[in-house]
Amino acid sequence: MKRLIRRILSILLTLIVVSFAVFTMQSFSAGDSASYMISEEVGGAAADAYMKAMVPDDPFPVRYLSFLFSFLTGDWGRSVSGQDIAELITRKAGVTISLSFLSILLAVLIALPLSILSVRYSGLLRKAVSLSAVLIMAIPSFLTGFFLIIIFSAGLGLFPPAGYTSPSVSLLLWLRSLLLPSLTLALLHASLMIRIFRKALDENMSKPFTLSILAFGADRKSLVTQSALKPSLPVLYTLIASSLASAAAGSAVTESVFALPGIGSLLVSAALSRDARLSGIIVMLIALAVSVIYMLLECVLLAADPRTRREA
């Protein structure tokens, strides 16, 4: 219980720290964005007016509190191009959320069997799995995406190389347009999962509880799933949570490679068009989502692992 309360407190703390950081950086660079947004020919008056609109005269704490309040009440204002930010984000969030979950699902489907198999049949299979995991982690994820496009859409013609079909048009086309980007993220997550989860399996294979069953004459291969798997699962849950947390940022790159209209590509275009407000809102939303993910992880760990409950 204590741990849960601490997690909930840490969500609040994250919200306060991140919003404060975003707000401070925005205020300090307001002059910068003003001179970027308003060209010099228009003159200083327009730039001053822009500054006034961005940074009112109130004292700093008052401005921060009203900033935080309008963020919490969903009053997010308009982007540089004049669109309603709240509407923009709700329209695009679905793509990113489905991309993230699909990629985690694929990653677990890849990593779980491969980890178990490579502990069962160590040798050539284990080496091959390790090598491909190292290779995938050595190159940036957008390159993995390039190779997948070259193989699956240019070579085999199975998937579209880029673009997005809404699920309301066709569920099958929607899945097809999301599969390659999800696989790109999934390969990266899976490589990390295999490395760490397999290590946990290895460790639990040499723990006393496994060794004693082994001494009674049990088959070593079947012990991987029977004895080592369950105590290793909390590690997998933690990996799933951290992958999900990094998927939020990783989707920025993946969505741009595959031209998906999600939050990630929205953030990139906000960065390129110097939209301080839009990018600030997105950063705060992602930070909030990540800390909620970690709180959910804590709940799952408490439910799955009795050892964690004892300390509290």
Partner 1 sequence: MKRRRLVGIIMIVLIALLSLLLASAGTAAGSERLLSPSLEHPAGTDTMGRDLAGRIAYGVLVSFSIALPVSVISILLGITLSFAFSVSGFPTIPFLMLSDTMKSLPPVLLALFLNALSGPGMLKLIVALTVGNVPNIARLCHSRMMVLRSDGPSLAALSMGVGRIKVFMTHMLPFLLPYLGTEAVSIFSASILTEASLSYLGCGVPPMIPSLGSILAEARPVMLSAPWMIAFPAVILALIGIALEMIISGSSETDTASH
Residues that bind partner 1 (CB under 8 A): 10, 13-14, 17-18, 21-22, 25-26, 29, 32-33, 36, 134-135, 137-143, 146, 149-150, 154, 195-196, 199, 245-246, 248-250, 252-253, 256-257, 267-268, 270-276, 278-280, 283, 286-288, 290-291, 294
Residue located via tokens 């300090």: 28
Q: How far is the CB of 124 from partner 1 (least distance, A)?
A: 19
For partner 1, give the closer residue by CB, 173 or 195: 195
Q: Count of CB atoms within 10 A of residue 74's CB?
A: 10
Q: How far is the CB of 118 from partner 1 (least distance, A)?
A: 15
Q: How far is the CB of 199 from partner 1 (least distance, A)?
A: 5
Q: How far is the CB of 8 from partner 1 (least distance, A)?
A: 13
For partner 1, give the closer residue by CB, 112 or 289: 289
**Backbone φ/ψ region at 63: left (φ over 0), alpha (ψ -120 to 50), beta:** alpha
Q: How far is the CB of 252 from partner 1 (least distance, A)?
A: 6
Cα–Cα distance measured from residue 58 to residue 64, given in angstroms and rounded to the nearest whole number: 10
Residue type, 72: L
For partner 1, give the closer residue by CB, 63 or 274: 274
Can you give the length of the chain in residues? 312
For partner 1, give the closer residue by CB, 29 or 308: 29
Q: Could you write out the DSSP letters of every residue in 50-118?
A: HHHHHS-SS-HHHHHHHHHHHHHTT---B-TTS-BHHHHHHHHHHHHHHHHHHHHHHHHHHHHHHHHHH
